[in-house]
Amino acid sequence: MISKKKATVGAILLILITSISTFVASNMIQISVKEKVVITKNEYNELTRVYKKYSKNMLLEDIIKEYYLRDVDDEILLEGQLRGLFASMGDPYSVYMPKDEFKSFMEHTMGVFGGIGIYVGAGEDNLITVVSPIEGTPGERAGIKSGDKIIKVDGKEFTAEKMDEAVKLMKGEPGTDVTITIRRDSEGKSEILEKTITREEIRVKTIKASMLENDIGYIRITSFDEQTHKDFTANLKALQNKGMKGLVIDLRNNPGGLLDVSAKIADELMGEGTIVYTETKKKEREYLKSDKKKLGLPLVVLVNEGSASASEVVSGAIQDTKVGTIVGTKTFGKGIVQRIKELSDGSGFKITVSEYFTPNGRNIQGIGITPDIIVEIPEDVEVIGVENLEQDTQLLKAIEIIKDKIK
């Protein structure tokens, strides 16, 4: 049986539509209940459309409540419909988030959250793919690597369609454990690894800077959050005050972040010109441009397969404007932009609204950026950066290039 309340609503709508269909010949339609209500043909058509659109939802919801073996909460049913609405687009980056998930997501963009410390994305194989572990976090210490496929969390199987649910499960209170099952592909072989990791409070420090030999500055950017530009400019100025003659910017394993922040950092380096432009499906374009500020020193940007999104904005702008040299391996290839919106009840969503293009008009979605100079890291090298300079072939190449330019 169908609930009386919704059956009544459905009957009223049906009677209303049946009644007014008799009078559609005229431009104005009059319905008499207790008071006269006058609607136009357009309003009638809209009413009909709305009824046809939602009557099936109402029917199925009532059937679930009446016949399903377990009790179902109204709010959970609605949440499922909203999630499904976004999931139907087949875009893992467009998702609806209930209040607690949205709050967690926004904390993440601020740079503080509880979890294991990895960034993930949707792979072309529809599996949750590790873009990069965050330096100094439980995920990195457990040996999780860029390119690993997360196939289970606490024994539950996941694919990219439910990536946000998997991320929610991996996050949690510091001190608690979570078990991650990953598939690692190497040289045509697949290995299944299971890792139990203790969550920690992840405080993301997105900038690390130091002075290398021959007065070569080094700045590593691990992600682009709200504090990154401020920290970048402070460290850049400190290196310049120490007499820096060239600069290496390390974007390896940087999964991206806020587009406007990455544009601000590119602005500090490249001089006047276009940094990036975005284009919607309506072909509406928005340009982010830099002013006349320019680093004016030899510059090398390091990238790898873990460099994605906002990292590709910076490296693409540097490459196209020839302000510096891109060294490493091909980047991840995420060239689409999401908009984030909070709703009045604290829930929210992110939705892909545009794709971005480098200054020369390149869209790198699913393609990535090929470096000017390709340098591989030996397979037995697990640590990159200044901590393992002697084995970091990419960083050694960057230093070599800058030395030659200084001469």
Residue pLDDT, tens place only, 30-86:
444 455 667 788 888 888 888 888 888 888 989 998 999 999 898 889 999 999 999
Could you read off the pLDDT of 172-196 as tens digits, one per residue?
899 999 999 999 998 888 999 999 9
* Domain boundary residue, one of 185, 202, 219: 202
Co-location of 300 and 381 in the same domain: yes
pLDDT at residue 4 tops 70: no
> What H or E segment, with its residue span, contains residue 351?
strand 348-357
Instruction: Supply the pLDDT for residue 19.
Output: 41
Instruction: Supply the pLDDT for residue 30.
Output: 46
pLDDT at residue 12 tops 50: no
Contact (CB, 8 A) for 207 and 219: yes
Instruction: Supply the pLDDT for residue 40.
Output: 84
* Domain boundary residue, one of 202, 233, 249: 202
How many helices (H) and strands (E) the chain has is answered by: 10, 21
Co-location of 225 and 197 in the same domain: no
Instruction: Supply the pLDDT for residue 9.
Output: 41
Could you read off the pLDDT of 293-335 as tens digits, one per residue?
899 999 999 999 999 999 999 999 999 999 999 999 999 999 9
CATH number at residue 306: 3.90.226.10
What phi and psi values does residue 151 have, to the nearest 5 degrees? -105, -20
Contact (CB, 8 A) for 69 and 326: no
Instruction: Supply the pLDDT for residue 24.
Output: 39
Q: Is 99 part of any domain?
A: no
Could you read off the pLDDT of 93-146 as tens digits, one per residue?
999 999 988 887 887 777 667 899 998 988 889 999 998 888 789 999 999 998
Q: Is 105 part of any domain?
A: no
Report pTM. Answer: 0.68
Co-location of 196 and 67 in the same domain: no
* Domain boundary residue, one of 183, 202, 221: 202
CATH number at residue 194: 2.30.42.10
Contact (CB, 8 A) for 369 and 326: yes
Separation between Cα atoms, residue 8 and residue 149, nearest integer Å:
50
pLDDT at residue 27 tops 50: no
Q: Is 314 part of any domain?
A: yes
The number of distinct structural domains making up the chain is 3
Co-location of 208 and 198 in the same domain: no
pLDDT at residue 1 tops 70: no
Separation between Cα atoms, residue 281 and residue 354, nearest integer Å:
7
Co-location of 47 and 160 in the same domain: no
Q: Is 77 part of any domain?
A: no
Nearest to 149 by CA among 177, 120, 115, 171: 120
* CB-CB neighbours of 73 under 10 Å: 8
Co-location of 165 and 292 in the same domain: no
**Number of Cα atoms under 13 Å in the Cβ half of residue 95:** 17
User: Quick one: average pLDDT of 365-394?
Assistant: 94
Contact (CB, 8 A) for 313 and 321: no
Instruction: Supply the pLDDT for residue 109.
Output: 74
Strand partners, 185: 190
Co-location of 127 and 262 in the same domain: no
pLDDT at residue 13 tops 50: no
Co-location of 218 and 197 in the same domain: no
Active-site annotation, residues: 309, 320, 334
What's the one-letter identity of residue 349? F
What is the per-residue burial (b if ≥16 Cβ within 10 Å, else e) of 207-235? bbbeebeeebbbbbbbbbbeebbebbeeb
Co-location of 194 and 266 in the same domain: no
Q: Is 101 part of any domain?
A: no
User: Which comes out higher in pLDDT, residue 10 or 300?
Assistant: 300
Could you read off the pLDDT of 248-282 as tens digits, one per residue?
999 999 999 999 999 999 999 999 999 999 999 99
Co-location of 228 and 271 in the same domain: yes
Nearest to 305 by CA among 377, 360, 361, 355: 377
Co-location of 353 and 224 in the same domain: yes
Co-location of 220 and 346 in the same domain: yes
Q: Is 88 part of any domain?
A: no
User: Which comes out higher in pLDDT, residue 26 or 295?
Assistant: 295
Q: Is 32 part of any domain?
A: yes
Determine the Cα angle at 87 with ends 199 and 51, to 5°. Answer: 135
Q: Is 107 part of any domain?
A: no
Average pLDDT, the chain: 88
Label residue 28 by pLDDT band (50, 70, 90). Answer: very low
Contact (CB, 8 A) for 376 and 384: no
Per the structure, the complete domain to which residue 224 belongs is given by: 204-406
Instruction: Supply the pLDDT for residue 312.
Output: 97
What is the per-residue burial (b if ≥16 Cβ within 10 Å, else e) of 186-196? eeeeeeeeebe
